[in-house]
Structure 1
Amino acid sequence: MRFNKLDLNLLVSLDAMLVERNVSRAAERLHVSQSTMSSALGRLRTYFGDPLLVQVGRGMELTPRAQTLKEDVHDILGRLDTVVVAQPQFDPAKSDREFRLLASDYTLVTLMPHLLALVRQQSSSVRFQFAPLPQLDRPHRALEGGEADLLICPQNYCSREHPTEILFEEEFCCVVCNDSPLAEPGAMTVARYMAADHVVTQPSGVDRTPFVSWFMEHHGVTRRVGIKTFSFVSAPFAVVGTEYVATVQRRLAQFAQGALPVTLLPLPVSMPRMQLAMQWHRSRTHDSGLVWFRRLLGEAVRRMNGGDAKAVAPASASAGNVWPQPL
């Protein structure tokens, strides 16, 4: 089928190449030969009068024209998939659909067990693919590139271009080893917190300062970094047998306390709660499978919180919701 002299079948090939930035990987993605994909690229270059993909070093980069096409082409195909291909009703008991979720290891440890338990009650064939959040500065690009169906991340990292729903709130606390002098009642003062060596989490491939570090820096709280790790889950483990302090999400800290000789202490400084949100591509809002998935995530949050969607263990003082500006 043609539209304005363009073979619309080529849009699928174009989308794959713009996402993969590689002819061979695009061919593998669509289960066609490399020569077929190369031929499609040639026809697309002729139609648009632009090379679209150019060799730069050992890789390929998108031309400015291809950059402008990328999101629009993927959006068009996503809408077609939702309207034409997707089934109007989603039956988890009969579906073998794979849902692709991007989330931190913190989310996988605290929320996913509740989700998977609920899924098991409704389906034995639905599948999931979990992957880390890439480029936390712009995680929504994974939605736009077709790499994920849904992402879960702090609300301030979400894009304004796509629908977002707050899942739950989280607060932070201090985690120290039971044998540390800082574990003694009243020992964790602001001065001793600032003087201690800290375990700080910096996710891989993220240039932007994580929220905890951002908040401390902007409120005059300096910390000496003793250990820097890419994993939220590893932070409580790093304090065992040391006098390090880790500032950790309370749910994760409580989980770790059940397995490690650690003590949880209130932060000596007031910090706002973090809002965890889920986001999906705007073209997938009415995808019946994703509607089911999003609803189940909400149920998983209520199960995690014992019935209260925003519940979190009692904290010390709260400073209000002071966040960096959304991206």
Structure 2
Amino acid sequence: MRFNKLDLNLLVCLDALLTECSITRAAERVHLSQSAMSNALGRLRDYFEDDLLVQVGRQMELTPRATVLCEAVRDVLVRIETSLSAQPEFDCTSSSREFKIFVSDYAMEVLMPEALALASRQRSRVRWRLLPHTPQPARALERGEADLLVVPQAFCSADHPTDLLFHDEFVCAVWKDSSHARVGVNAQRYANARHVVMQPVDADQPLFDSWFVQQCNIHRQVEVSTYSFAMLPFLVVGTELIATVHACLARRVEPALPIVLMPMPVPMPSIEMAMQWHRYRTRDPGLLWLRALLREAAGRVFHAMPVSAPPAAATRPGLAPVV
């Protein structure tokens, strides 16, 4: 099929080439031979009158024209895929659909076990693919690499719909035999202490908690950084370190660890967690089921805690979108 003299089958090849910046990997992505992909690139170059991919050293890079085409081509393919895969109804007991969800290890720990248990009670046969966040999670939605994101409300893209799931507070976690446990943690001791913090891979911007304490003119002395929220309470054991941890996560591990949880010594807004999906998939029956399931799971975990009026949350563009 052709549109404006372009063979529309070439759009799939073009998307793979623009994504992989490699003829070999693009061929593998769409299950073609390398020679067939090379031929497709040649035809695309003729149509667009542009090289699209050029060799720079040992790598291939996109031309300016190819860079402009990236999002438009992916958007067209996502629309087509959404239309073709749409079903009039969804039955979790017979569907083997795989849902791809981008979720941090924090949300994995506090939310997903309850969600999976609920799905099991419904005799669901769906498959779950739980994936780590990327520095730009909204891009995963737009490229069709994720069905759903579970992210802080402040980091949701304005281009796609969201639904607030729950909010959580922050607490300080310290070793039970530390000086902090004996005398307490006030703002001065918090500022003077050594800290263990979570710093996501490939993210240069500070997380919400790091940014907020800086707004209170507190600059923490970071002795240990890790890529995992769940490990923060474990890493304070046997040390004088302080970890600033999501309260729900901290309370889950508190019985198993020799730690003490203390209120934050400075007022800190709660973190609002939301789910986000592609605007083209708002009426997808499968995603409607999934979103309802996650809402119910969040309500059970947080004991139906109202999420409509949590303490005002501070937001700031450029915070690392991994919480």
Partner of 1:321: 313
Could you tell me how far apart the structure 2 residues matched to 1:76 and 1:211 are? Answer: 34
Matches within 5 A, 1:205-284: 205-284=202-281
State whether residues 150 and 279 of structure 1, in contact with CA within 8 Å, keep that contact through their aligned partners in structure 2: yes
Partner of 2:289: 292
Q: Give deviations 1:155-210, integer Å, cap 9, x for gaps.
A: 222211122222111110000011112113x6211111111111111111101111
Could you tell me how far apart the structure 2 residues matched to 1:235 and 1:133 are? Answer: 18
**Counterparts in 2 of 1:91 and 1:239: CA distance versus 1, 3 Å:** same
State whether residues 167 and 276 of structure 1, in contact with CA within 8 Å, keep that contact through their aligned partners in structure 2: yes
3-state SS in 2 of match to 1:212? helix
Structure 1 position 84, deviation (Å): 2.9
Could you tell me how far apart the structure 2 residues matched to 1:38 and 1:278 are? Answer: 40
Could you tell me how far apart the structure 2 residues matched to 1:144 and 1:22 are? Answer: 21
Structure 1 position 120, deviation (Å): 1.5
Partner of 1:53: 53
Partner of 1:194: 191
Structure 1 position 308, deviation (Å): 2.9
3-state SS in 2 of match to 1:148? coil
**Counterparts in 2 of 1:193 and 1:110: CA distance versus 1, 3 Å:** same
Matches within 5 A, 1:1-327: 1-135=1-135, 138-184=136-182, 187-308=184-305, 310=307, 320-325=312-317
TM-score (norm 1): 0.91
3-state SS in 1 of match to 2:95? coil
Structure 1 position 22, deviation (Å): 2.5
Deviates more, 1:297-306 or 1:62-71: 62-71
Unpaired runs of 5+ in structure 1?
Answer: 313-317
**Counterparts in 2 of 1:114 and 1:125: CA distance versus 1, 3 Å:** same
3-state SS in 2 of match to 1:151? strand
Deviates more, 1:256-265 or 1:117-126: 117-126
Could you tell me how far apart the structure 1 residues matched to 2:140 and 2:58 are? Answer: 23
**Counterparts in 2 of 1:131 and 1:81: CA distance versus 1, 3 Å:** same
Structure 1 position 244, deviation (Å): 0.6
3-state SS in 2 of match to 1:275? strand
Task: State the AA in 1 paired with 2:263.
Answer: P
* Identity value in percent: 52
Structure 1 position 18, deviation (Å): 2.1
**Counterparts in 2 of 1:309 and 1:55: CA distance versus 1, 3 Å:** farther
Could you tell me how far apart the structure 1 residues matched to 2:305 and 2:126 are? Answer: 27
Task: State the AA in 2 paired with 1:76.
Answer: V
**Counterparts in 2 of 1:289 and 1:17: CA distance versus 1, 3 Å:** farther
**Counterparts in 2 of 1:53 and 1:125: CA distance versus 1, 3 Å:** farther
Deviates more, 1:250-259 or 1:55-64: 55-64
Structure 1 position 56, deviation (Å): 3.0
Unpaired runs of 5+ in structure 2?
Answer: none
Aligned-CA RMSD value: 2.0
State whether residues 271 and 319 of structure 1, in contact with CA within 8 Å, keep that contact through their aligned partners in structure 2: no
State whether residues 169 and 311 of structure 1, in contact with CA within 8 Å, keep that contact through their aligned partners in structure 2: no
State whether residues 253 and 264 of structure 1, in contact with CA within 8 Å, keep that contact through their aligned partners in structure 2: yes
Structure 1 position 63, deviation (Å): 2.0
Q: Give deviations 1:279-327, integer Å, cap 9, x for gaps.
A: 1222222222222212211111112112235399xxxxx9732221478
Task: State the AA in 1 paired with 2:148.
Answer: L
Could you tell me how far apart the structure 2 residues matched to 1:319 and 1:308 are? Answer: 13
**Counterparts in 2 of 1:286 and 1:57: CA distance versus 1, 3 Å:** farther
Task: State the AA in 2 paired with 1:4.
Answer: N
Could you tell me how far apart the structure 1 residues matched to 2:158 and 2:120 are? Answer: 33
